[in-house]
Amino acid sequence: MSIQNIDFYFFSGTGNTLIVTKAMAKTFKENGIKTNLFKIEDSKPYDVNLTHVIGLGFPVAELSTYDFIWKFINDLPNSNGTKIFMVDTLAGFSGGIVGSLREILKKKGYNPIGAKEIIMPPNIFYIQDETTNKNKVQKGIKKAKEYAEDIIQGKSIWGRVPIFSDLAYYISITGLKITHSNLNQKLLYLTADREKCNRCGLCVDICPLNNIQIDNEKYPINMKNCAYCMRCTSFCPKNAIPCPLNYKGKTYRAVMAKDLIE
Ligand SMILES: Cc1cc2nc3c(=O)[nH]c(=O)nc-3n(C[C@H](O)[C@H](O)[C@H](O)COP(=O)(O)O)c2cc1C
């Protein structure tokens, strides 16, 4: 039976996943499918409409994805065959997420109809030059549209590599646990440089975890529940929140801040 409605839940730290999600949504709509976009950070998993096809879009982080995305997925209600697809964006290698996610959703009773990983520019470590980034984004958009066509035509697949998928999943979950440890939150502390910060408050508004608060002097403070999605670092108009992991302090963003918080 052809697809009538798609509810597409997504998160994007620096815009790559937003671009891919929008490209797919455009293709769905051009083919007459009613498509709603929902931000994962503003959504409640138990509100999902199980009579619609569900889409999940998110960035890869530490060979996996952010903890709050896992929480959303793990808290999805059980279903009786709701069709579901996923797309992630990544710089190069994701490891175990595709296979392990499929197993989790199957156990909940969903019908996994498609998974795709789309290479986009890296937003951490080594930020590439503008031309390379633009080319990658264009290729990514093309792949996203093709993938959406495949979903519409029933040609998409969601595979799993036995053993490898499980192994990679457990390695990545260990990585996420380390990221959220107190030690890591202290060592890799993203904090505003008070000399540069103009106290505009954009970082507070843009943080998906409400992890940034304002002190008495209106400077932002990191409440040590950071997922390292790179939003505050990448969108700070004064480049006042350096990420110690970024080579030469360069930052990446694929969209405007307002596109992520509108
Ligand atoms: C904390 C962190 C960890 C990342 N880990 C990986 C990784 O393991 N593999 C990979 O290919 N890309 C990794 N990336 C790169 C992002 O997945 C990639 O740039 C993605 O497209 C960003 O999407 P967004 O702009 O929607 O946030 C990582 C990025 C961040 C910020």
Instruction: Say how many C-beta atoms besides its own lie within 10 A of residue 189's C-beta.
Output: 11
pLDDT band at 109 (very low <50, low <70, confident <90, very high): very high
pLDDT of residue 1: 66
CA of 224 to the centre of ligand 1 (A): 20
Ligand 1, atom 28, lies closest to the CA of: 61
- In this prediction, residue 189 carries a pLDDT of 77
Ligand 1 within 6 A of 91 CB? yes
Pocket mutation for ligand 1, best pick of 16, 94, 124 (most atoms within 8 Å of C-beta): 124
Q: Boundaries of CATH 3.40.50.360 in the chain?
A: 5-172
Domain with CATH 3.30.70.20 in the chain: 188-261
Write out the chain in H/E/C secondary structure: CCCCEEEEEECCCCCHHHHHHHHHHHHHHHCCCEEEEEEHHHCCHHHCCCCCEEEEEEECECCECCHHHHHHHHCCCCCCCCEEEEEEEECCCCCCHHHHHHHHHHHCCCEEEEEEEEECCCCCCCCCCHHHHHHHHHHHHHHHHHHHHHHHCCCCCCCCCCCHHHHHHHHHHHHHHHHCCHHHHHHCCCCCCCCCCCCCCHHHHHCCCCCEEECCCCCEEECCCCCCCCHHHHHCCCCCCCCCCCHHHCCCCCCCHHHHHC
Q: Is 168 in the pocket of ligand 1 (CB under 6 A)?
A: no
For residue 65, how far is its CA from the centre of ligand 1 (angstroms)? 8
**Per-residue pLDDT tens digits for 36-70:** 999 999 999 999 999 999 999 999 998 889 999 99
- Determine if ligand 1 sits within 6 Å of the CB of residue 233: no
Residue 116 has what pLDDT?
96
Percent above pLDDT 90 for the chain? 78
Q: Rounded mean pLDDT of 16-33?
A: 98
Q: What is the pLDDT of residue 29?
A: 98
Q: How many beta carbons lie within 10 A of that of residue 24, not counting itself?
A: 30
Could you tell me if 120 and 89 are in contact, meaning their C-beta atoms sit under 8 angstroms apart? yes
Decide: 57 in ligand 1 pocket, CB within 6 A: no
Predicted structure pTM score: 0.95
Distance 172 CA to ligand 1 centre (A): 13
For residue 58, the ligand 1 atom closest to its alpha carbon is 26
What is the rounded average pLDDT for all residues in the chain? 93
Instruction: Express each pLDDT in 145-185 by its tens digit.
Output: 999 999 999 999 998 776 777 777 777 778 777 777 777 77
> Measured from the CB, is residue 251 less than 6 Å from ligand 1?
no
Q: At the top level of CATH, which class does the domain 5-172 belong to?
A: alpha beta
The answer for residues whose C-beta is within 8 angstroms of residue 179's C-beta and 6 or more apart is 62, 67, 227, 228
The CATH topology of domain 188-261 is Alpha-Beta Plaits (3.30.70)
Of 85, 83, 31, nearest in space to 57 by CA: 85
Give the rounded distance of the alpha carbon of 76 from its chain centre: 17
State the pLDDT at residue 166. Answer: 76
